[in-house]
Amino acid sequence: MNSKTNLFGIDSLIDLTKAAVVAALYIVITMVFAAFSFGPVQLRLSEGLNNLAAFNKRYVVAITLGCFISNMMSPMGAIDLIVGTAETFIALVTINLVTRHMSSTIMKLVASVLIATFYMFIIAFEIAYVGNSAFWPTFWSAYLSTAIGEFLSMTIGAVVFYIVDLKFDLSK
């Protein structure tokens, strides 16, 4: 259930704890697989947690915070703190808004995967901007590689959260 009284969906200590656990999971998964989590060719498995934004808005803040802290270790530097975290926030807000009134868990997850994959153009723009080669070829190759990685991470996450949602209501 999405909170009606709080902008961030965190109304209690339990909500705060759930958000903190998800933020910590994002950081741990990103760091454990750090070799694959950064750069133009990336498979950031922690991005699979983005699917949680389709269930409850508290995860928008949690995952954005996890992404921000993870991006402190990014080899791209401060620009990744701003652009990478902003991309995650924009994608999560969009996922939450688009899926808010969907009743089918499968449709929520499909929308979530597609939205997150689409927004990787922002990361591709960042990579092309800081790169030392021609902008457009770098942009399109980075978009292709990051979108494929995002699609794979989000799809793995969608399968996991579909199974989890069968047992536990992730919207609560």
E strands, the chain, where? none
The structural domains of the chain, with segments of one domain joined by +, span: 13-167
In this model, does residue 3 exceed pLDDT 80?
Answer: no
Those residues with Cβ within 8 angstroms of residue 97's Cβ, 6 or more apart along the chain or in another chain: none
Helix H segments across 58-101? 58-71, 78-79, 85-99
**Confidence (pTM):** 0.93
Give tens-digit pLDDT for 58-73. 999 999 999 999 999 9
CA distance 25 to 167: 20
The gap from C-alpha 52 to its chain's centroid, in whole angstroms, comes to 9
Give tens-digit pLDDT for 91-101. 999 999 999 99
User: What would the mean pLDDT of 27-43 be, rounded to a whole number?
Assistant: 89
CATH topology for the 13-167 domain: Arp2/3 complex 21 kDa subunit ARPC3 (1.10.1760)
Give the Å distances, CA to CA, from 53 to 38, 57, 98, 106, 139.
22, 6, 10, 14, 27
